[in-house]
Amino acid sequence: MTVVAATIPKSEGDWQLRGVDADQVFASQQLSDTAMTAAVRVTARFDPSFPGWFLYRRVVAGVGLFDRDLEAWAVSSARILSRMKKKDGRDYVQPSLRRNDWISQAGRDALDYVIYGKYAEALEPRAERFGVHWKTYKRIREPVSAGLWIGLQTFQSELHTEYFRVRREDKGSW
């Protein structure tokens, strides 16, 4: 029996060279011109009422400067949802159950979920505190959370793409 030795080629490369993590670029307190240009371009593509940049900076960099604006946006989204109609024409939330206290809190809970990755309180105790059935509370909190999360992910994706596009424009081709 003959044993043949195989030669494994030497692994070469610059192991100190790493890719750019775009979230790190936007997480710093001082943003580069490239980052600012990308942020302005992407913000202009979204509806002016969507606080994508504020939400992104809050999640990625912890910038709380616009927390009141984010809260107002989440609360208004919850209120709008509560007053909508279903496809069959019925109310999404019965008018007799629409109270601003619990609807506003459901919006704030949705924002907490997006920023911190969890709700401030479990569903049933929160709903019980406001005297509303947990299923009704969930009908506002969950879709607003999902909408905020999807909006954030979409904004982030567009921002990263635009950042690398601007970077390529600034430096020629890399």
For residue 169, the tally of other CB atoms under 10 A from its CB is 11
Q: At 78, which amino acid appears? A: A
| 48/119 Cα distance (integer angstroms) | 27
Tens of pLDDT along the chain (174 residues)?
555 555 555 545 444 445 668 899 999 889 999 999 999 999 999 999 999 999 999 999 999 999 999 999 999 999 999 999 999 999 999 999 999 999 999 999 999 999 999 999 999 999 999 999 999 999 999 999 999 999 999 999 999 999 999 999 988 755
Task: Look at residue 5 in the predicted model and tell me its pLDDT.
Answer: 53
- How far apart (Å, rounded) are the C-alpha atoms in residues 71 and 89? 29
Boundaries of every domain in the chain = 22-167
**Which residue, chain included where needed, has tokens 């043949």?**
4
pTM summary value: 0.83
Q: Which DSSP state fits 85?
A: B
Give residue 124's region: left, alpha or beta (phi > 0; psi -120 to 50).
alpha
* Alpha helical stretches, state H, 46-133: 52-61, 67-82, 100-116, 123-129
Q: Are 91 and 85 in contact (CB under 8 A)?
A: yes
Q: What pLDDT score was predicted for residue 22?
A: 87
CB neighbour class for 137 (10 Å; exposed up to 12, middle 13-18, buried from 19) = buried
Q: How far is CA 115 from CA 19, 79, 89, in A?
A: 26, 20, 34
Inter-helix orientation angle 134-171/100-116, to 10°: 40
